[in-house]
Amino acid sequence: MERTLILLKPDAVQRGLVGQTLARFEQKGLKIVALKLMKISPELAAKHYEQHRERKFYPGLVKFMTSSPVVALALEGIDAIKICRNLMGATFGADAAAGTIRGDFGVSRSFNLVHGSDSPEAAVRELALFFPEGIVGYDYAAYGWIYDPVEELKK
Ligand code: UDP
Ligand code: MG
């Protein structure tokens, strides 16, 4: 099982797309292991996007991400990082394939609705930033039907 950080960005919250966006991940079969509405501080935004610090779009990105609340969630599943990136679609809404979150709900190059960790290392780092309190452990009844228990859930 892999875990990933997903952020429903300020545009998703302000446009009333939290439910529909969250549903995409949930329906796919990802388990929600943490979830909260929060405002991102400039300090947290700087840590989260430190790899982009020198990019031209960085000041606007930090301004956008701190302008209004986000929904932060931790999702779990086999190959969760790749699956979430596929559900999100390409970075720019105009390029993102139909059927993806960014492809279906946006056109912008910066207001693109959702963030997802892009590697296992990034996921560990980002989850620690957004959920220092840790994730919520529980048995997910649906796992026995989302995965083949014999082939996929055996330890
Ligand atoms: N971004 C932007 N302009 C750009 C490239 C990126 O505003 O030209 C923003 C956009 O919100 C994007 C975020 O910066 O989601 C992080 O960029 P990255 O390349 O990591 O894209 P992602 O991993 O989110 O697809
Ligand atoms: Mg990225």
109 lines ligand 1 (CB under 6 A): yes
Q: Is the pTM of this model over 0.95?
A: yes
CA distances from 67 to 25, 44, 71, 123, 149 (A): 25, 13, 13, 23, 44
**Using CB atoms within 10 A of its CB, is residue 146 exposed (0-12), middle (13-18) or buried (19+)?**
middle
Active-site residue numbers?
115
* Domains of the chain, CATH where assigned: 2-153 (3.30.70.141)
Q: Check if the beta carbon of residue 87 is closer than 8 Å to that of residue 25.
A: yes
**pLDDT at residue 139, rounded to an integer:** 96
**pLDDT at residue 154, rounded to an integer:** 79
- Say how many Å lie between the CA of residue 118 and the centre of ligand 2: 6
Residue with tokens 């979150």: 101
**pLDDT at residue 155, rounded to an integer:** 64
DSSP code, position 113: S
110 lines ligand 1 (CB under 6 A): yes
**pLDDT at residue 102, rounded to an integer:** 98
- Say how many Å lie between the CA of residue 49 and the centre of ligand 2: 8
**Using CB atoms within 10 A of its CB, is residue 15 exposed (0-12), middle (13-18) or buried (19+)?**
middle
* pLDDT beneath 50, residues of the chain: none
Atom 19 of ligand 1, residue of closest alpha carbon: 91
Q: Check if the beta carbon of residue 94 is closer than 8 Å to that of residue 25.
A: no
- Say how many Å lie between the CA of residue 44 and the centre of ligand 1: 16
Atom 17 of ligand 1, residue of closest alpha carbon: 91
Q: What would the pLDDT profile of 11-41 be if each residue is shown by its tens digit?
A: 999 999 999 999 999 999 999 999 999 999 9
**pLDDT at residue 7, rounded to an integer:** 99
91 lines ligand 1 (CB under 6 A): yes
